[in-house]
């Protein structure tokens, strides 16, 4: 029970990696705030946790809205009395859109969800964690945040930014007892692909150019959840500002 007695808030937790994180964290003893866009979906995950003997509550939260971010963190305090772990997992793709083709609307939407959303949640969580003298933040980044052409321009910029934010928070709040790390997955079998609806041919061709060098299969969401558990638990107590690549060797070449 690596998270016994702790409370975790997980965004994008109704499906994919976020759902598996919520289920695993609860299995390891955490009380979980399951945050995502649809009430029915978050309630289903919370119910599954409760039926397994765990503690959870579903909260509708759009990370682009300040009031929603505040609400999901306030719910952790209200329902479980504390906030120990924040996992910023919600994210979208960008249709592989190249810089020459990206619209202001697409750029802003991707950065709002992938980067500004985590910033809002971190900003709200930090005073709570500072007051109690401890806390853990885990951000779902991407190998797209480590390299230049694993996605379109907006997604790449957002994940590079999230990695920078991770390191900044890690260093500046280390003496407050707060750790902040990130996971950089490669391909994962989740529904984030549904956010790709009209791929940019130029950008997609450039993105896929290097993919044939390695035909690594996509990860199962639960394989990324175990990395999140490691970073959220005391097993990683001396890791801070670290970016853990979990891509099956895709970028090892």
Burial of 230 (0-12, 13-18, 19+ CB in 10 A): middle
Query: Among residues 3, 155, 162, 169, which one is catalytic?
Result: 155
Separation between Cα atoms, residue 124 and residue 110, nearest integer Å? 21
For residues 94 and 153, the answer to whether their CB atoms sit within 8 Å is yes
CATH for 7-246 is: 3.40.50.720
The angle at the Cα of 6, spanning 189 to 68, to the nearest 5 degrees, equals: 65
Identify the pLDDT of residue 111: 98
Q: Give tens-digit pLDDT for 138-191.
A: 999 999 999 998 899 999 999 999 999 999 999 999 999 999 999 999 887 765
The torsion of the CA quartet 248, 249, 250, 252, rounded to 10 degrees, works out to 160
Q: What would the mean pLDDT of 30-34 be, rounded to a whole number?
A: 98
Separation between Cα atoms, residue 176 and residue 166, nearest integer Å? 15
**For the ranges 84-88, 120-124, 210-214, which has the lowest average pLDDT?**
210-214
Identify the pLDDT of residue 73: 98
- 3-state SS, residue 143: helix
Identify the pLDDT of residue 218: 81
Model's pTM, two decimal places?
0.91
For residues 97 and 206, the answer to whether their CB atoms sit within 8 Å is no
Q: What is the DSSP letter of 218?
A: P
Q: Give tens-digit pLDDT for 49-59.
A: 999 999 999 99
Tell me the domain boundaries of the chain: 7-246
Query: Strand 31-36's sheet: what is its strand order?
Result: 55-60, 31-36, 7-11, 85-88, 135-140, 178-185, 243-246
Q: Is 155 a catalytic residue?
A: yes
Q: What would the mean pLDDT of 50-78 be, rounded to a whole number?
A: 98
For residue 13, pLDDT beyond 80: yes
Separation between Cα atoms, residue 44 and residue 48, nearest integer Å? 6
């Amino acid at each position: 029970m690596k998270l016994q007695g702790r409370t975790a808030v997980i965004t994008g937790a109704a499906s994919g990696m976020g759902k598996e994180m919520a289920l695993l964290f609860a299995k390891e003893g955490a009380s979980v705030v399951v945050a995502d866009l649809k009430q029915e979906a978050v309630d289903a995950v919370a119910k599954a946790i409760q039926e397994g003997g765990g503690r959870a509550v579903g909260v509708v939260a759009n990370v682009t809205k300040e009031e929603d971010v505040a609400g999901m963190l306030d719910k952790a305090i209200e329902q479980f009395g504390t906030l120990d772990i924040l996992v910023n997992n919600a994210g979208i793709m960008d249709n592989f859109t190249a810089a020459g083709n990206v619209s202001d609307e697409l750029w802003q939407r991707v950065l709002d969800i992938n980067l500004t959303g985590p910033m809002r949640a971190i900003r709200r969580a930090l005073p709570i964690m500072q007051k109690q003298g401890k806390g853990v933040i885990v951000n779902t980044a991407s190998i797209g945040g480590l390299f230049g052409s694993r996605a379109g321009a907006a997604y790449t910029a957002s994940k590079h930014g999230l990695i920078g934010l991770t390191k900044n928070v890690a260093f500046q709040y280390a003496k407050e007892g707060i750790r902040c790390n990130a996971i950089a997955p490669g391909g994962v079998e989740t529904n984030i692909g549904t956010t790709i609806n009209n791929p940019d041919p130029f950008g997609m061709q450039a993105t896929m150019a290097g993919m044939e060098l390695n035909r690594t299969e996509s990860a199962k969401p639960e394989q990324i959840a175990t990395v999140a558990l490691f970073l959220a638990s005391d097993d990683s107590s001396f890791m801070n500002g670290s970016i853990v690549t979990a891509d099956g060797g895709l970028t090892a070449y």
